[in-house]
A and B are shown apart, each in its own frame.
Chain A
Amino acid sequence: GAGVSQTPSNKVTEKGKYVELRCDPISGHTALYWYRQSLGQGPEFLIYFQGTGAADDSGLPNDRFFAVRPEGSVSTLKIQRTERGDSAVYLCASSPRTSGYTDTQYFGPGTRLTVL
C-alpha cells in the first residue's frame, strides 16, 4: 500500500517568509510525528499527534513553529518568519497504534527546506 507522503519534496524560501509543509500519513494510522534532521545529525523530534490533537509538542523549538491535523489525517507543519537556521530536512512519520506498547513509526521521504 501507499506509504507516508510529503510535499513539497524541496522548498526554497527567503529569510522572513512563511512556509507550510504537508504530510499524508498511511491510511488508518492514528498517530503522526514530525521530526527535523540537520546535515550529519540524527532526526530531532518536533511534535506528535494522536488523532487531531497534539499529544506532545515539546520538541517545537519556538513559537514560530506550529502544526495542525484538523481531521486526524493530513498534517501541516507551519513555520513563520523563517530563519536560515531552520534549513533542514523535515520528516513525517505515522504509526497505527493508539495506545501503549510498540507502535512502529513509518517515515516519509522528507521535505528539504532551504532558507536563503
Chain B
Amino acid sequence: DAKTTQPPSMDCAEGRAANLPCNHSTISGNEYVYWYRQIHSQGPQYIIHGLKNNETNEMASLIITEDRKSSTLILPHATLRDTAVYYCIVRAFNAGNNRKLIWGLGTSLAVNP
C-alpha cells in the first residue's frame, strides 16, 4: 500500500500558486519524498524529490516539515498545462534491489482560466 495520503482533487486559478499537500506520517529516516505528475494520456513525469531540506528546481518547490511527516509541492505560477494528477511517493535511498515506486491515487489538479 502507498505510504502517503493526498487529497483526491484540487482547483487553482491560472497564474496563482498551487500548493499540493501530502501526508507521510510513517516516513522512515532513510526515505525520500518524490513528486511525479501525469498529464492525461501521458507517462508520469518526474518533478522533484527531497529528504529533509526544502528543494527548488525549475518546475516546483518542495517544502518538507521539520518532523518530515508531511510535505507541500508548490507550483509558483500555475498554467493550464499544469493540469494533471500529482503523485507524492516515499522511497528509501540506498534501497538495494527494493527500488519500486509505490503509487497511490494522487491529487487531480485542475488549473482554471
Contact = CB atoms under 8 A, between A and B. Distances in A.
B21 interface: no
Interface stretch (B12-20, B43-51, B58-66, B72-80): B43-51
Interface residues of A, number: 30
Interface residues of B, number: 24
Contacts of B45: 107
Contacts of A104: 34, 46, 49
A42 B97 contact: no
Contacts of B49: 102, 104
Contacts of B106: 42
Contacts of B98: 56
A76 B101 CA distance: 20
Contacts of B97: 48, 50, 55-56
A108 interface: yes
Contact of B94 (A50, A56, A95, A100): A100
A93 B36 CA distance: 13
Given A42-B2, A59-B100, A109 B42 contact: yes
A45 B100 contact: yes
The winner among B43, B100, B101 for most chain A CB atoms within 10 A is B43
Interface of B: 2, 32, 34, 42-46, 49, 87, 93-106
Interface of A: 4, 31, 33, 35, 40-45, 48, 50, 55-56, 58-59, 91, 93, 95, 100-110
